[in-house]
Amino acid sequence: MRGGRVAVVGGSIAGCAVAMAAHRAGAAEVVVFERTPGRLEDRGVGVGVRADLYEELAGAGYLGDDAQYVRLDRRAWFTADGSRTGRAVGAMEFSFRAYNWGLLWRALRDRVPERVDYRRDTPVAAVTAGTDGARVALADGTAERFDLVVGADGYRSVVREAMFPGVRPQWAGYLLWRGIAPARLMPPRETGWRDGDAAMIGFPGGHAMVFLIPDRDGGEQVVNWALYSRPPASAVLDPADPTSLPPGTVTADLLAHLDLLIDELPPYWAELVRLTPAPEIFVQPIYDLQSGSFAAGRLALAGDAAAVVRPHTGGGAVKALQDAIALEAALSGTDDLDAALLAYDVRRAPIGRAMVALGRGLGTAQVLDTPDWAAMDQDALHAWWAAIPGQLPLGGRALIG
């Protein structure tokens, strides 16, 4: 790409990576429109990057050791059996970097060149594509024209709506409750959970996962937990509106149902989850979506805007960064912008479809059709995992979730 103006809608992890890609590929001007006025670095939940994929991302210059992380090397599965920690079902080896989302975003934001115009508190109202560019209409009534607009604006993408009107994420039928708590408050570690473990606790109709990450300041560690299960029948949810419930907005019936689910866990893991005060818990309804393509005309998509992948895959941040690497390669490889976007779509759309399929398989196995945990042992655990459809070469099978 030689010159030209590129707009990036969305300034989180995907947006920062895409801005880097466009700048490095030769764009004369890159503008990032981020709707949030506050501090994105204050988002503190866990994000994972598989170790071998980290090497790929670091080699391309998108990640480095400037972001603190906790090294994980094993997934240890437990289930309730009346004891304090539950019965250790088995373990799966893997190598993983567990980040705090805010620290990872900060590291990427610091890598965005100063020449990139990063605009906070600038929501985009609509995007309109033309034959030789696209128009970005802002919420304040102004508009700007660009040679290329990339949507990195998540599962409610304005850019995707311009490309595929009416295409919405599909409700999976279950929820993810999440929270963090200072590791200094956790009771002493019990037998079966060692340093480097991501603990997985299976129960009928769902599972919980617990692992450590750096806190948002990088000064100490925090307990990061996530629990998947169906919502209570009383829950008022709009499946057509894929909106998370941030801390302080989770309804009383969802918190009460979480209490019942926590009671399904062995006491030690229940104590860890209950370290998070109710006002700090948030709920994420699970959706997925595969757009028709990653590029159309002078519009392109990256990250969750292109493919909403269930978090079981543990690959959302990785996919966003790999999208950016692929976009940089495509834009750098030719002066023909249309040809570059076609090459980007050909390379990334199949990966997006495969990751969506894998997320669905993992969701079925771990939430919608859980195994008989009382009958599981190490051999049965491996057989169950191997039978989950949708194996990927780039991540998923070896990822936590």
pLDDT tens track for 113-132: 999 999 999 999 999 998 78
Question: Higher-confidence residue: 193 or 252?
Answer: 252
Note the pLDDT of residue 93: 85
- Does 397 score more than 50 pLDDT? no
Confidence class for position 242, pLDDT limits 50, 70, 90: confident
* Bridge pairing between strands 148-151 and 299-301: parallel
Note the pLDDT of residue 281: 96
Whole-model pTM: value is 0.93
Query: What is the mean pLDDT of the segment spanning 52-63?
Result: 92
Confidence class for position 388, pLDDT limits 50, 70, 90: confident
Return d(Cα 50, Cα 399) in angstroms, integer: 7
Q: What is the pLDDT of residues 348-384, one digit of tens each?
A: 999 999 889 989 999 999 999 999 999 999 999 999 9
Note the pLDDT of residue 347: 94
Query: What is the mean pLDDT of the segment spanning 176-195?
Result: 89
Question: Higher-confidence residue: 70 or 315?
Answer: 70
Note the pLDDT of residue 391: 58
Looking at this protein, which amino acid is placed at residue 194? R
Confidence class for position 239, pLDDT limits 50, 70, 90: low
Question: Higher-confidence residue: 241 or 379?
Answer: 379
Tally Cβ neighbours within 10 Å of residue 319: 25
- Does 392 score more than 90 pLDDT? no
CA dihedral angle for residue 176, residue 180, residue 186, residue 188, rounded to 10 degrees: 60
- Does 63 score more than 90 pLDDT? yes
- Does 400 score more than 60 pLDDT? no
Tally Cβ neighbours within 10 Å of residue 80: 21
Question: Higher-confidence residue: 250 or 44?
Answer: 250
CA dihedral angle for residue 266, residue 101, residue 346, residue 144, rounded to 10 degrees: 140
Return d(Cα 49, Cα 182) in angstroms, integer: 22
Q: Do 177 and 276 meet the contact criterion of CB atoms below 8 Å apart?
A: no
- Does 399 score more than 50 pLDDT? no
Q: Do 303 and 320 meet the contact criterion of CB atoms below 8 Å apart?
A: yes
Q: List helix spans (H) across 35-150.
A: 51-59, 101-111
Looking at this protein, which amino acid is placed at residue 388? I
Query: Mind listing the domains of the chain with CATH numbers?
Result: 5-44+103-169+288-359 (3.50.50.60), 70-99+170-287+364-386 (3.30.9.60)
Could you tell me which residues come within 8 angstroms of residue 376 by beta carbon, excluding any fewer than 6 positions away?
77, 79, 89, 90, 202, 384
